[in-house]
Amino acid sequence: MLEILKVIAPLFLIILAGAFLQRLKVADEKWEDVLNAFALKVGLPALIFYALSQAKISLSEQADLLIANSIFLVASFAIAYALGKIFRLKGIMSRTIFICLAFGNVAYLGIPTLVQVSGDNILPTASLIVAVYLFWFFTIGIGGLEYSHIKKKRDLIKTILLNLVKNPLLIAVILGILVASFSIELPEIISSSIQMVGASVTPVVLVVIGLFIGKTRIGKLKKWIPVIVFSAITLLVLPALFFFGVKLAGYNPSQFTSSIIEAAMPLAITPFALAKQYKLQERFIARSIVMSTVLSVITIPFWISIL
């Protein structure tokens, strides 16, 4: 456990540095906006595209990976929906749980963690997993929010398709797979430039997470009890379901190490960005991001040590 913690400790040290920059007023909200926009629209797409374009991809060989992650995510949405009904959550809270439960920080924190543990050779696998998350998030996830939000239900499919087409991360995945599938050789000057941009994104996004944590108010302890319960479900229960699910299906969980580690990621920042648009519980999301990210310092090494 200690050796694994040493491997991923630099990631959390950068997050901590970002939090201190925010607390010391060295960084303001403009930093977060600019860095986040760069990571989302340029850095991460470049990283994912380069990883996939340089890899030998066989979707038939990766079928188990794609199917297992898809089943996990669809099941997570079903669990979130069921929890809303069982506990009779109000519309706002029900929508919040629905969009947040399954959407871990698989790109911003997941990719750096997997690379830190397994090296750059894990990037193609990590990118494919991220692609699966993005697909289901922008179909079932956003589709569910749109269904309860828009008045014209017939516009639902159109809205989902527009969200998919406009998403730079998903575009990078599609282009990367096409380049790899057709063995297209990119000019070295272009390939090297994309690689350099992709290499810059890991510290950038970790600083963004730190900036967000640094500006979050603590609040009263009782307000954090639902947040702690939610964080425990996302960090421990869901990856445990994945772990035992593949075991019951007759597979060795070690075959899905990257997938289970990604399933154990803390809540992503994206749901917070969608909070105003879809009238979600902003404070609950913000606190869940902070709490789950802090607790993941313990839970991520725990899952890595098991796998």
Q: Which domain holds residue 71?
A: 2-306
Task: Please determine, for residue 260, whether its predicted confidence score (pLDDT) is greater than 80.
Answer: yes
| pTM for this model (two decimals) | 0.78
Secondary structure (DSSP) of 73-95:
HHHHHHHHHHHHHHTT--HHHHH
**The pLDDT value given to residue 197:** 92
Q: What is the DSSP letter of 151?
A: S
**The pLDDT value given to residue 278:** 76
* CATH number, domain containing residue 254: 1.20.1530.20
User: What would the pLDDT profile of 72-119 be if each residue is shown by its tens digit?
Assistant: 999 999 999 999 889 888 888 999 999 999 889 888 788 888 988 888
Mean pLDDT within 153-176: 74
| Number of neighbours of residue 194 by Cβ within 10 angstroms | 19
Number of domains in the chain: 1
Which band of pLDDT confidence, cut at 50, 70 and 90, is reported for residue 235? very high
The alpha carbon dihedral of 86, 91, 96, 99 has a sign of positive
Give the residue among 234, 251, 272 at the shortest CA–CA distance from 73: 234
From residue 258, alpha-carbon distances to 12, 63, 152, 173 in Å are 19, 15, 40, 18
